[in-house]
Amino acid sequence: MSEILKNINNIPVRTWRWLGVNETNIKENMPDLKDYKLDPLTINNGEGYKVIDIKEKNSGIRFFENKKDIGLSEPLTELASKEFNCGYLIEVDEKQKIEEPIFIDYKMDGNNPQVIDNNLIIAEENSEITVVMKYSSNKGTEAFHNGLTKLYAKKGAVINLVKVQLMEDDGIHLDAIAAAAEEDAEINCILVELGAKNSVTSCKNNLLNLKSKANIYSIYLGDKYRKIDINYVMNHFGRKSESNIISHGALMDKSSKIFRGTLDFKKGSKEAKGVEEEYAVLLSSGVRNRSVPLLLCGEDDVKGQHAASTGKIDENKLFYLMSRGFSELEAKKLIIESAFNPITERVPIGEIREEISEYIRRRMVDV
């Protein structure tokens, strides 16, 4: 096991070691880094915004400088920040609303098995942009992904980030999002985690000023011996700031999952509100499911609520669908897809929504 893959995705406040949720370790060797020679971008620039290869202009945002806790770990953040082989700087001009989503398609194959992407999205005041990133790999490719995406929404701006991970079984997926929102700004992250034998992800939002908002909507699917590790954090600094974490997942076979969701109300965040909900459906008796909802409070006059729900498929729903002619397998697939639909419908590109649906159906062949 490589040292860089040890002790990653740490929980904000440590708990009992025997629970095994404070951090995660990947028992794999770190591959030798290679160049990425594919072009994942279809459109470079348009009216009101620009997309620049991060190698040409690795611009920084002061908020993220010297931040050790923005990624999965300091070494992995260093790797994505300094030894990246791809990535983009995306800037939206003030008062520009970009309706067409920017699509970045990170594909991994035998000649390009590694994506180490460093991305920065900056939305100027009262602007709006949607960016869709897809990560996929060819069957038989021992793909490795380590990514860092930083989002900065200035006053009144909106950033919509969609990440769809459809890697094959041999892959390792490590992905971190670090976001900051100024006054009246909003950041929405739609995260679809369906593939890779090891999937470790974090999304840390900082609500800096008055009425800043952040939302995370995610789905995950575990099958075979897949390991899923999730760490979502909402740091409330601003007064009347608002956040939501909504996550739906399904586990089957011998898969395992750790979900960490944290609402942290910092001093000065009076009248802030945060909601966290995670729903997991267990389709097999051999799965291992662990959820750690955290509510941290350094300020009074705030509202925070969290819930984690775990259980088997509703037998009444299953019976109803089977009485209408569906087989048990078809009925289970339909129930899982219906649970995922409110989140997958937020993906703005129809072809990718179809690809997600097909991927889920393929994964659930032997439920």
Is 90 exceeded by the pLDDT of residue 330?
Answer: no
pLDDT at 1 over 60: no
> Span 85-90, mean pLDDT?
96
24 pLDDT band, cuts 50/70/90, is very high
Most confident of 61-65, 240-244, 304-308, 315-319: 240-244
302 and 272 Cβ atoms separated by less than 8 Å: yes
Helix (H), strand (E) at residue 353: helix 350-363
Per-residue pLDDT reduced to its tens digit, 113-131: 999 999 999 999 999 999 9
* Entry pTM: 0.95
pLDDT in tens, 167-217: 999 999 999 999 999 999 999 999 999 999 999 999 999 999 999 999 999
Phi, psi of 282 (to 5 degrees): -100, 115
> Cβ distance 274 to 236 under 8 Å?
yes
Question: 58 falls in which pLDDT band (50, 70, 90)?
Answer: low
The pLDDT of residue 268 is 96
Find, among 190, 183, 308, 177, the residue nearest to 233 by Cα.
177
Question: How long, in residues, is the chain?
Answer: 367
Where does the pLDDT of residue 366 fall: very low under 50, low under 70, confident under 90, or very high at 90 and above? low
Confidence of residue 59 (pLDDT cuts 50, 70, 90): low
pLDDT tens figures, 152-161: 999 999 999 9
Q: Please tell me whether residue 210 adopts helix, strand or coil conformation.
A: coil
Task: With CA atoms as reference, report the closest residue to 221 among 177, 167, 176.
Answer: 167
Distances from the Cα of 156 to the Cα of 122, 162, 187, 269, angstroms:
13, 20, 11, 18
The confidence band for 367, taking pLDDT boundaries of 50, 70 and 90, is low
pLDDT at 319: 87
The encoded tokens of residue 116 equal: 């180490």
**What integer pLDDT is reported at residue 42 of this predicted model?**
76
Per residue, what are the HEC states of 277-318? EEEEEECCCCCEEEEEEEEEECCCCCEEEEEEEEECCCHHHH
- Most confident residue range from 30-34, 47-51, 94-98: 94-98
Relative to beta strand 49-53, strand 88-92 is antiparallel
- Please state, rounded to an integer, the average pLDDT across all residues of the chain: 93
Share of the chain above pLDDT 90, in %: 76
Q: Report residue 81: phi and psi, to 5°.
A: -80, -30
